[in-house]
Amino acid sequence: MLSPLDKKIISLVSKDMLLSSRPFKVMAGKAGISEDKLLARLKSYKKSGMMRKFSAVLHHINAGFKHNAMCVWNVPEKSALNAGRIIAAFDYVSHCYQRKRRADWKYNLYAMVHGKTRAECIKAAKKISGKIGFPDCKILFSSKEYKKTGVKYG
């Protein structure tokens, strides 16, 4: 069971970090604890498996990547793991998943491809298709965005 302090810390670390030489010190101050205590808690979360990692997140739109497409591939099950690893290795891919097929939808590998233009996304999907050796690909551009945020805890 999480304590109120744990919930506060998780809420703080799930938000954007301030650009600071000591971002954890800033967070610790907001939690009302020392930086050492905050770091000890974070290490315990990592050790317990509750927290996986800290990482930088590129806000791709601010970086000029204004277009994205969900690309889906029809890949034989025996090749899906290898193809998924190849797809995930491309810099312009932010998400890559294998999902179960349905009777009315034969595609099982999904990846979000980012580009500065629609044409760049299409070119990227074609390049990926060539690299994995499975050309049966659909490129799905969004028609409307309803929500786009990271997961917020607490």
In a domain, 148, yes or no: no
Do 76 and 31 belong together in one domain?
Answer: no
CATH code (residue 105) = 3.30.70.3460
Neighbours of 35 (CB within 10 A): 16
| Strands of the chain, DSSP E | 67-73, 93-98, 109-115, 137-141
Do 9 and 73 belong together in one domain?
Answer: no
Do 72 and 102 belong together in one domain?
Answer: yes
Beta bridge partners of 70: 112, 140
Range of the domain at 111: 67-141
What tens digit of pLDDT does each residue of 94-139 get?
Answer: 999 999 999 999 999 999 999 999 999 999 999 999 999 999 999 9
In a domain, 116, yes or no: yes
φ/ψ of residue 138, rounded to 5? -115, 140
Do 120 and 74 belong together in one domain?
Answer: yes
Do 40 and 95 belong together in one domain?
Answer: no
What tens digit of pLDDT does each residue of 38-80 get?
Answer: 999 999 999 999 888 777 666 666 666 688 999 999 999 999 9
Number of domains, the chain? 2
